[in-house]
Amino acid sequence: MANTNLRAHCVKCGKQRVIAICAGCSEEFCYNHFTDHHQELSKQFDEIEFNRNLFRQTLTEQTNDLKEHSLIQQINKWEEDSIINIQEIAKECRQILSQHVTKHIDQIEVRFTKLTDQLKQIREANNFNEIDLSQFNKTLNQLAKELDKHPDILIE
């Protein structure tokens, strides 16, 4: 830190004495003020170490608790919002699908009731043959197939 020079002036007191030159700032000091200058530099160095320790603490805290990182929190919020949106859309889709399925079943129910009435009439009249039985069986099978068939709805 110091070079000695025997006949120069101290930047602090201006006296001509045996002095030291600071290698960092190139200023000339008497030995008394050179010691003061070194103490100032030591205080600055202490402050840098203190700030470094604070930074280490902050770095360690963020490393240990990534859940609290602001970007992680943004992702968590996005996830929650997305789930709520998906749940709302799924609820709406279920309602729409329920309406279509109910309509589909109601149409089959009307045709089934008509078939049931025809069967009752034929049974009461006791007037049926193989052709009638084949037609009733065909109609009943067709209704069963339509009930198993999903309405023309595509889920994307």
Give pLDDT, residue 151.
Answer: 67
pTM of the model: 0.51
The set of residues, in sequence order, having a beta carbon less than 8 Å from that of 41 and lying 6+ positions away, is 24
Given a cut of 50, whether residue 5 has pLDDT beyond it is: no
Q: How confident is the model over 34-66, as pLDDT tens digits?
A: 999 999 999 999 999 999 999 999 888 888 877
- Summarize pLDDT for 90-114 with one digit per residue, the tens: 999 999 989 989 999 999 999 999 9
Residue boundaries of the structural domains of the chain: 2-64, 66-148
Q: What is the pLDDT of residue 1?
A: 52
> What's the sign of the alpha-carbon dihedral 125, 130, 134, 140?
positive
